[in-house]
């Protein structure tokens, strides 16, 4: 089959993930390194997780910090780019663990912004609203900054339901934030809806908290997908950012397929003479994009 294959130059790890992986590799590469435990997957990509496990990285979840958990005394723990709630730091200190904190600086800034907004709203009966995926690691860290006293909404339907239940009222101030990896266009639409539901638009403060690197990628990726006959989007199945960006590609190019590894590629997706674009999420390593492009080129 005669195919032209191009890798999107803007795809691949975001800065926060690169920083976390480099710190993990630096620790694991030291001659006297002991085990390193990542609190949750260091990146939502199964292939990269396998590569790092081969270097000695182990995984645990936040429950491993609870009394009676199995982590060894004096363990070294890595906090991934998504961040953690304050309780994680407190439990780690109580149990004598060493932390390598790889929280993305963009997420750290957002955590501080939410704390400050909560202090402003607490005496006025106001609400913190966060646009994001319920249960996502970053969201858990953000909600934890205010002791759980924040409303997470995934879409317009959840926002309307919150008003119907009385969790949101049209007469109280609201400060709106977004998970850093969400679609900026969806965030703007949600902000407009929320503003329209309040008695006075001035009651709403909207914070620009979508990561700039992610926001810029949306427009560039849409152009990349439109410029190719077919698109192969590479992302881990658990990647929230991957689902968002793959859907974006598919909205402008219906011949878009998602794979987590090159072995999943189906030759039937392509036609002779196709220009095929290979792209991925902020959690997709460059080496995996390259392997995927090489696989397509052999068809």
- Domain of residue 292, CATH code: 3.40.1010.20
Q: Based on the domain organization, do 225 and 281 belong to the same domain?
A: yes
Catalytic (active site) residue 59? no
Local mean pLDDT, 10-residue blocks, the chain (299 residues) = 94 92 94 89 92 93 74 89 94 92 97 97 93 94 97 97 96 96 92 97 96 86 96 92 91 97 96 96 94 95
81 and 58 both lie in a single domain: yes
CA dist 239 and 58 (Å) reads: 19
Number of Cβ atoms within 10 Å of the Cβ of 66: 10
Examine the fold and report which residue of 182, 206, 230 is the final residue of a domain before the chain moves on.
Answer: 206
Domain hosting 34: range is 15-103
The active-site residue out of 84, 94, 116, 138 is: 138
CATH of the domain at 36: 3.40.50.11270
Is residue 85 domain-shared with residue 133, that is, in the same domain? no
The C-alpha atoms of residue 165 and residue 267 are separated, in whole angstroms, by 50
pTM of the model: 0.88
Q: Supply the DSSP string of 18-46, one letter for each residue.
A: HHHHHHHHHHHTSTT---EEEES-SSS-H
Using CA atoms, how far residue 141 sits from 114, 127, 252, in Å, is 11, 17, 33
- 201 and 243, same domain (yes or no): no
Boundary (domain end) residue, out of 85, 103, 121? 103
pLDDT of residue 213: 84
Q: 278 and 233 share a domain?
A: yes
Are 273 and 220 members of one domain?
Answer: yes
Residues 8 and 19 in one domain: no
Instruction: Please identify, among 188, 206, 224, the residue that sits at the C-terminal boundary of a domain.
Output: 206
User: Token pair of 108, please?
Assistant: 């750290």
Beta strand 76-79 with 127-131: parallel, antiparallel or unpaired? unpaired
- Is the domain of 113 the same as that of 22? no
Domain count, the chain: 3
80 and 149 belong to one structural domain: no
Q: Where are the beta strands (DSSP E) in 92-221?
A: 98-101, 127-131, 151-153, 174-178, 204-206
């Amino acid at each position: 089959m005669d195919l032209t294959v191009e890798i999107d130059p803007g795809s691949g790890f975001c800065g926060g993930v690169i920083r976390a992986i480099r710190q993990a590799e630096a620790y694991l590469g030291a001659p006297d390194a002991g085990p390193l435990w990542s609190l949750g997957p260091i990146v939502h990509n199964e292939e990269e997780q396998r590569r790092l496990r081969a270097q000695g990285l182990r995984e645990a979840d936040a429950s491993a910090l609870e009394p009676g958990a199995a982590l060894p005394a004096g363990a070294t723990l890595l906090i991934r780019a998504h961040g953690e709630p304050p309780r994680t730091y407190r439990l780690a200190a109580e149990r004598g663990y060493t932390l390598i904190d790889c929280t993305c600086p963009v997420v750290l800034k957002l955590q501080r912004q939410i704390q400050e907004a909560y202090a402003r709203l607490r005496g006025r009966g106001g609400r913190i609203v966060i646009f994001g995926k319920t249960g996502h690691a970053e969201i858990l860290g953000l909600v934890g900054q205010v002791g759980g006293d924040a409303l997470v909404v995934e879409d317009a339907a959840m926002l309307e339901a919150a008003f119907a239940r009385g969790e949101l009222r049209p007469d109280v101030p609201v400060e709106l934030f977004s998970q850093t990896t969400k679609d900026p266009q969806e965030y703007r639409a949600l902000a407009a809806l929320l503003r329209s539901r309040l008695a006075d638009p001035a009651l709403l403060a909207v914070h620009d908290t979508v990561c700039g690197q992610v926001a810029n990628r949306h427009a560039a990726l849409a152009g990349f997908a439109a410029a190719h006959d077919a698109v192969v989007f590479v992302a881990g199945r658990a990647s929230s950012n991957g689902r968002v960006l793959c859907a974006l590609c598919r909205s402008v190019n219906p011949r878009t397929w998602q794979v987590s590894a090159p072995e999943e590629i189906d030759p039937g997706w392509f036609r002779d003479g196709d220009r095929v674009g290979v792209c991925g999420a902020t959690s997709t390593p460059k080496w995996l994009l390259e392997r995927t492009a090489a696989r397509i080129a052999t068809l």
